[in-house]
Structure 1
Amino acid sequence: MSETTIPSSAPPAGGSVGRNAWVALGVLWFIYVLNFLDRQLLSILAKPIQDALNITDGQLGLLGGLYFAFFYCFIAIPVGWLADRTNRVWVVSIACGIWSAATVAFGLSKNFGQLAASRMSVAFGEAGGVPPSYAIITDYFPPGRRGMALGIYNLGPPVGAALGIAFGASIAAAFSWRDAFIAIGAIGIVVALITPFLVKEPRRGGLDQSAVAPTDAPLAPAPATPAKAPFWGTAKSFFANPVLVLASLGSGVTQIVTYGLGNFAVLFLMREKGMQLNDVALWYALVVAIGMGGGIFASGYLIDRHTKRSKTAYALLPAISLSIALPFYIAFVWAPTWPLALVLMLGPNFLNYFYLSSSVALVQEEVRPNQRVMSGALLLLVMNFIGMGVGPTYVGAASDWFRTTHPENSLQIALYTLIPVYLVAIALFLWLSRVIARRLKTEAAR
């Protein structure tokens, strides 16, 4: 599989955005929708899966947390290295086919061991979807338009989650939870087959400046034909850059909340708030689509607007949004009824995800174009291994532990224990803003 650069399909120079860029963004966005839809089906259909296979909250946490995160995060690194040196579109297409086939296998599983094997295979495939897509989009959209483009792309998770809730819960209610996994996996296989015909590989760094800057500079433009980036050199540069490390850590700690809540919210609402599967298919889907989708879209717009004034906005926007989200989160967990809980959940769903577009855009602009896939994979490694690995695993284990003394509300207590995590995430993003501000001050004094 060799790299193919097609000049006629390359994005136009300057600040304009051509049709091919929007087509590429649309296709990659839809693949991300399927990516997150496949991933979220487990949390959406947790209760019928529990009832059918008699698995615990802790086992659910392992399936959606540590088992998934281990494969997802560490496979993303070699996949990122491969995509930086080959055709990124083909990497995305093959990855989509792998995770979709694994989703079908999950629907056919008969016990926890088979569920775990299928889930890890889903993670194996999904590891190749997002990092190459970040880099493809960055090479289709010029600086100053990337925050919005990546914000649109990052609408994939809320749309995927909302569609998963609506269709997954509806299919499960009408037929069975197995049919939901099989149907959605089949759609993904078809999309994987047609992707290379719709998206062309853009030239790496084609819309960046002509000079090459150091890897730790705020913006690292590229030569017209960038050399292939070394694996260990890229990793060393990434972890030697305090801006990239803090952005990854802040995002990872934030994801402890988002994945911890996201993997158990439906089970929490059904088991402890009295919600039914049909209610989930309609009302919870709307809350996720409006809240998470609106927050991610708004964050992309605000990033493009405020980072033109100061790069500290990459850190301050997530810090501010998480500070506002915290009281809404506490109220959501406390709410005595599911309708009130859903209304209050709009707050954290809207505000919890400002970090995503911010950190992705910051990392993509912080490194050389030929390091973007690998650097995106390293970002995902850190933030997903912390967030995805710890969040669901911890919440599930905590719920099992609290059930011995509080059988009626063990998940509620487990979710309350995520409150200090918000404070740590806010502190990390404020620290990041100080590091960026010091760098800007040093550069201005030169």
Structure 2
Amino acid sequence: MVSAAQRKYILFLLFMVSVFNYVDRTILSILQIPIKKELGLTDAQLGMLTGLAFAIFYAVLGVPIGRLADYWQRRRLVAGALTVWTGFTALTGIAASFASLLGFRIGVAVGEAGSIPASHSIISDLYPPDRRATAIAIFGLSLPVGILLGYSSAGWLVTNIGWREAFFVIGLAGLIVVPFMWFAKEPKRGTFDPVEVAKAPAPSTAEALKILWSKRAYRWLVLAGGFHAWAWYSVNSWNAMFYVRVHQVPLPTVSYYLALVNGIGSAIGIYAGARLADYFGTRDVRGRPRVIAISQLIMVPIAIVQYLVPSHVVSMVLGAITMTMMLVYYGPIVAVAHQMMPANIRGFTSGVLTLVVSLIGLGLGPLVTGFLSDKFTAAYGVQGLGYAISVTVCASLVSAFMFWRSSVHLPNEVLNKEPVKEAELPKEPVV
């Protein structure tokens, strides 16, 4: 039995692992400016490094590693993954060409692929369905914290010691958490599932895929996540370049602005989105995906104005609103997916979700935006990057429609029977 104190401790460790995930991923979006200058890279190549090349390995390997998380000790899988990606982040500091940069980023992707599915599976066995979106959101606060630390530390490090040394310092720092994660307690699988579901043996991969495909709400959910991630990853990858190139804001200023916007704004969006989703979702199961859809319909027009308005001050204010609204989806999407699936395939469920979201969002978003930027810049000058990002964020309109469609099918596809009750489940808030 996992005690209340252990529950919080494990969630904190997963949070810290994920912080380093986003720190390691974020620093490239800041450091790409001096890297581009030193190595002579194009926008399309930068889009490849921050997008498709990373996403293919991160997404594809997430499925088999997610499947492994349904059988093996998840805490040690997370610890091993952290060791791999932080090591490759440090090695990025010795890159001398686009090819070597690409190889090291692939190594980071291979390591990070092992973290998210196993972490989601652990959290779903720590907290019941009515508290799960909030718990996942608390874990998800690692995203704004990691981005805040990534932007602020990368901006300071590149100014004071250089971009290569920045990769060394940030990469090696993540190794501190590895032993704590390795020896953490493993929660019992299926704690909050119906008895017959919790005791059922894990299905084969083919059977697990059949279960996932049978859920129409899940199919719409993962596609919706992919299209929204297309917009989010593009914005996150190109914001620094946009303000430096289009508005001539100094890089250190941009670095600290993005640190605050992503740290504070994203944190508000993630936590508020999860609380709203759990509030409306406990009254109507369709509430969780509908909270996401409504937030995206509000966000898109604000984002378009952000990238077209001539004033950098107005743009930055709107950017804070955009980033807050963009991260509303983080907790609810995983909570809804796991609410439909038994514990013995939840790692696999998150792996498939990560596959689709990463290939569509991380893989294509930054890359296509880079190609559009090259074309629009040739035709319209420096404002071409703003036009490219404005086109990209419209993918969230498609996503809003898909999240709403998922909500329509959801009532018939959740695990309907009463879950197992854990007698010692603490009643205090997860925070």
Structure 1 length as normaliser, TM-score? 0.90
Q: Does 1:66 align with 2:57?
A: no
Residue 266 of structure 1 corresponds to: 240
1:11-410 equivalence runs, <5 A? 11=2, 18-197=4-183, 199-212=184-197, 222-223=198-199, 226-410=200-384
RMSD: 1.7
Shift of 1:190: 2.5
Partner Cα distance (1:111, 1:345) in 2: 33
Partner Cα distance (1:121, 1:377) in 2: 18
Identity of aligned residues (%): 31
Between 268-277 and 414-423, report the one with greater CA deviation: 414-423
Partner Cα distance (1:439, 1:191) in 2: 38
SS at 2:379 equivalent: coil
Shift of 1:413: 1.4
The 8 Å contact of residues 173 and 277 in structure 1, kept in 2 or not, is answered as no
Moved over 4 A (4+): 437-440
Partner Cα distance (1:405, 1:363) in 2: 43
Partner Cα distance (1:439, 1:378) in 2: 18
Residue 426 of structure 2 corresponds to: none
Shift of 1:439: 6.0
The 8 Å contact of residues 54 and 363 in structure 2, kept in 1 or not, is answered as yes
The 8 Å contact of residues 166 and 280 in structure 1, kept in 2 or not, is answered as no
The 8 Å contact of residues 129 and 335 in structure 2, kept in 1 or not, is answered as no
Gaps (5+ residues) in structure 2? 418-431
Shift of 1:313: 1.1
- Structure number with higher helix proportion: 2
Structure 2 length as normaliser, TM-score? 0.93
Between 371-380 and 278-287, report the one with greater CA deviation: 278-287
Residue 427 of structure 2 corresponds to: none
Pair 149,337 (structure 1): closer, same or farther in 2 beyond 3 Å:
same
Partner Cα distance (2:393, 2:175) in 1: 39
Partner Cα distance (1:163, 1:278) in 2: 14
Q: What is the one-letter code of the residue matched to 1:405?
A: A
Q: Does 1:416 align with 2:390?
A: yes
Partner Cα distance (2:169, 2:68) in 1: 30
SS at 2:150 equivalent: helix
Matched residue count: 416
The 8 Å contact of residues 300 and 394 in structure 2, kept in 1 or not, is answered as no
The 8 Å contact of residues 107 and 181 in structure 1, kept in 2 or not, is answered as yes
Q: What is the one-letter code of the residue matched to 2:186?
A: E
Pair 281,413 (structure 1): closer, same or farther in 2 beyond 3 Å:
closer
Shift of 1:419: 4.3
Shift of 1:211: 3.2
Partner Cα distance (1:434, 1:142) in 2: 23
Q: For each residue in 1:81-117, what CA deviation from the matched residue of structure 2 results, as whole angstroms up to 9, or x when unmatched?
A: 1111110011000000000011011121011000000
Gaps (5+ residues) in structure 1? 1-9, 13-17, 213-221
Between 110-119 and 273-282, report the one with greater CA deviation: 273-282
